[in-house]
Amino acid sequence: MSVEHKIYEMHAEQCKIFTSPKRLEIIDLLRTGEKSVNDLSAYIGIRQSNVSQHLAILREKGVVAPRKEGNTTFYQITNSKILEACRLMREVLLERLEENSRIAETVKMR
């Protein structure tokens, strides 16, 4: 298997992580710094056990890293390039929404 082929496989596998809106929200919340499961649960409005499941997937794939402090585990993003990639994708989606809105207005005016 070529290096390029291996990179494509790794890329596809990594992108699977970003198919959950809740995981994307967790990543976005961690943009401002580390947070505990309790913090994330309160921000997102889902049970701690559900947040923990999402964090386990993100941790397994190297997106977040845990840090224990007493009985509390805090999570942070492992590489700021992950945040940059999410930001760029968000910009693409916002541009698409704006374009769709312009198209809808044009059609409505007819």
Instruction: Give the pLDDT confidence score for residue 107 in this predicted structure.
Output: 79
For residue 21, the domain's CATH number is: 1.10.10.10
Domain that holds residue 71: 3-78
Edge to edge, the sheet with strand 64-69 lists: 35-36, 72-77, 64-69
pTM: 0.85
Question: Which residues on adjacent β-strands are paired with residue 75?
Answer: 35, 66
In degrees and rounded to multiples of 5, residue 55 shows phi and psi of: -65, -35
Q: Please write the tens of the pLDDT for every residue from 56-96.
A: 999 999 999 999 999 999 999 999 999 999 999 999 999 99
CB 20 within 8 A of CB 58: no
pLDDT band at 100 (very low <50, low <70, confident <90, very high): confident
Residue 89 placed within a domain: no
Residue 8 placed within a domain: yes
- Give me the number of domains the chain comprises: 1
CB 54 within 8 A of CB 65: no
